[in-house]
Amino acid sequence: MLKRLHSILPPTVLNDSEATAAKILPAILMRVNFIPGVRQRLGWRGMKESNGGFSTKIAEKEGVYGLSFIGSEKHQHEGTATFDLHYFPSPDEELLEDYSVAACIIAQQDNYIEQVREFNNHDLLKSLFHIAQLTVYYNAERTTLSISLRAAERLVLISVDGVSVTRDNCEEQVVAPGETDQDLAAFDVAIDFFRILAASYSFSLGVPPSQLQRSQREARQYLYFQSNRMEHRPLTTAKEKQLLLVWGADRAHSSETTNQFEHDLIWQEPEEKPSDYIDEAWWQDQVPGARFSIDKNTMGISERPKLIILTGFLGSGKTSFLNHLSSIRPNATPLSPSFRMKLAPKTLIPIYWVNTMQ
């Protein structure tokens, strides 16, 4: 059971598996990025919403990650949502050299940073800097949640017609016809983001993953023409990888492993954690050392208080507040309030003593 799921999304959303799949990832991003100590310890360094997408920075990278929603679907109790992952390197970042010539030209423009901040409004920008795909799955009946990362070890683009640029009013060929325009280690770039995102899931849900699956298939290289036509061919020197983490019930959702993907690692608790991932932060449901966090779980407060004192002047809304609190906690343990009147020098101050243990 995912013990904190109901604190992330309201019941009306959780009852809809498709809506949960689409909204849980943004909700977790928002949650952890607004708890300062947790945000820093997990590795986040900033987040901005951009027309339905999110741009984020992490400690491991100079550039900016962009996450854009693609779509969602529902089948009975199961819902899936798909997100594209982009990485926009800093103009001075060495990694930029591995991107296409067109991407490098855009990264050197004066308004590049402004475009990155609003990346979801710029389709060309998203296309040039796309690196991976994330799929979120939720089963409302089994309370199972998973997230998978899919990316190629090498994202290779071949320019069939070659690439030329204009310098000092002279045209210069920078990529010969049939040569490589881009050769990017996309999975390595994407996994840095995925690690922090998965750790954020474990913290927010209050439990570590119960399953891990890794699969792969032969990668593709993409051949593009000046006419905007695109073809793909096998890339025998690289693999396309998929990494899946599951929280909750004992059965993973693995629909994408049937499309020519083959498993090379399957783990399920209580087995010993796989050696390739034994040091990952996603195995922890707490964030140790977040000293200045305002989050009670991080501060070690794991139980609710036995007594809550609710005070206020006559007519301030204490009874209305308690009635509203009870109405939005239909499945929680009933509150047992008792009423006391305390005399102050000039006024009466009513006090509710709320016993939360009954």
Q: Is residue 162 part of a domain?
A: yes
Judgement on whether residues 266 and 342 belong to the same structural domain of the protein = no
Q: Which position has the higher pLDDT, 349 or 110?
A: 110
Residue 293 lies in a domain: no
Whether residue 340 lies inside any domain: the answer is yes
Q: List the structure tokens of 138.
A: 């939720």
pTM for the model: 0.80
Question: Residue 151 gets which letter from DSSP?
Answer: E
Quote the domain boundaries for residue 323: 307-355
Please tell me whether residues 276 and 328 are part of one structural domain. no
88 within domain boundaries? yes
Q: Is residue 296 part of a domain?
A: no
Q: Which residue has the tokens 């997408």?
A: 53
338 and 257 in one domain?
no
More confident residue, 313 or 300: 313
Higher pLDDT, 261 or 329: 261
pLDDT reading at 177 higher than 80? yes
Rounded Cα distance, 70 and 76, in Å: 21
Element at 18 (helix H, strand E):
helix 17-33
In a domain, 297, yes or no: no
Q: Is residue 89 part of a domain?
A: yes
Tell me, yes or no, whether 268 and 312 share the same domain.
Answer: no
- Whether residue 12 lies inside any domain: the answer is yes
| % of the chain with per-residue pLDDT over 70 | 82
Query: Strand pairing partners for 267?
Result: 212
pLDDT band at 351 (very low <50, low <70, confident <90, very high): low
The 10 Å Cβ neighbour count of residue 83 is 22
Structural domain total, the chain? 2
> For residue 113, is pLDDT > 80?
yes
Contacts of 346 (CB under 8 A, 6+ apart): none
* 211 and 250 belong to one structural domain: yes
For the chain, state the CA radius of gyration: 25
For the chain, first and last CA: distance in Å? Answer: 23
Lowest pLDDT segment from 14-18, 87-91, 148-152, 298-302: 298-302
159 and 19, same structural domain? yes
